[in-house]
Amino acid sequence: MIVGAARRYLGRSQAEFDDIRSALWTNEIGADAYAGAGEKYQAAILEQYRICVEMADRVSARRSVANTFFLTANTAVFTALNVAWSLSSQSSRWVLLLPLVVLIVQCVAWFWMLRSYRQLSSAKFRVVGAMEERLPASPYWRAEWKGLGSGRDRSLYWPMAQLEQWVPSTFALAYLLVLITILVG
């Protein structure tokens, strides 16, 4: 039961594209609801599309800021830990446990935040893809993704969001090893 819940939570499941498409469009408002019909309706779709793309871009920018914050915080705590380690005697090594635990917790939070940003970005770009169905071109959803081998060919594209999550995991593993070394040694 716990393994199943963890697998569901850690898995890469997403809402079905058909569900997104059906939730996106307002059935009560079509081209005929606009004065000037089709032209104004298309202009409204295009403006909403621009806003959606901009919001997806902002999520990516916020993710970058979060990475910078956590990398800076890890560097600061690790530097303080190294200074404390160099000044400590063998009997005071236990004082280093709290900063190591803080670093590990920080890495876990960093990992989950990156995961949440990845999910949010994915959902936003799926909405953008559904909107592109009503536009003359589909540059993000179809063309760019096709150009990247649909994420299947690592020689064409390795999703950055997956690579990003290795960083906090690697840091946490290193901190955990140091913690174990202190506890055992």
pLDDT in tens, 119-157: 998 889 889 988 888 888 888 778 888 888 877 888 888
More confident position, 88 or 19? 19
- Reduced to 3 states (helix: H, G, I; strand: E, B; else coil), residue 53 is helix
Whole-number percent of the chain with pLDDT over 90: 25
Q: According to DSSP H, which parts of the chain are helical?
A: 2-10, 17-24, 37-87, 97-132, 145-147, 160-184
How large is the average pLDDT for residues 90-102?
Answer: 74
- Tokens 């400590």 locate to 88
- Check residue 101 and give its pLDDT: 87
Q: Which residues contact 139 (CB under 8 A, 6 or more apart)?
A: 132
pLDDT in tens, 9-25: 555 566 777 777 777 77
CA separation for the pair 28, 18 (Å, rounded): 19
How large is the average pLDDT for residues 111-119?
Answer: 91
Nearest 5°: phi and psi at 14?
-135, 165
Q: Are 46 and 135 in contact (CB under 8 A)?
A: yes
Statement: residue 59 has pLDDT above 80: yes
- Check residue 111 and give its pLDDT: 93
- Can you read off the two tokens belonging to residue 164? 């990003």
CA separation for the pair 117, 164 (Å, rounded): 11
**Alpha-carbon distances, residue 61 vs 14, 66, 159 (angstroms):** 22, 9, 16
CA separation for the pair 64, 68 (Å, rounded): 6
Mean pLDDT of the chain: 82
Q: Exposed, middle or buried, 100 (CB in 10 Å: 0-12/13-18/19+)?
A: buried
Query: Residue 142 carries which DSSP code?
Result: I
Statement: residue 3 has pLDDT above 70: no
- Check residue 9 and give its pLDDT: 56
**0.85 exceeded by pTM:** no
- Check residue 64 and give its pLDDT: 92
CA separation for the pair 185, 53 (Å, rounded): 53
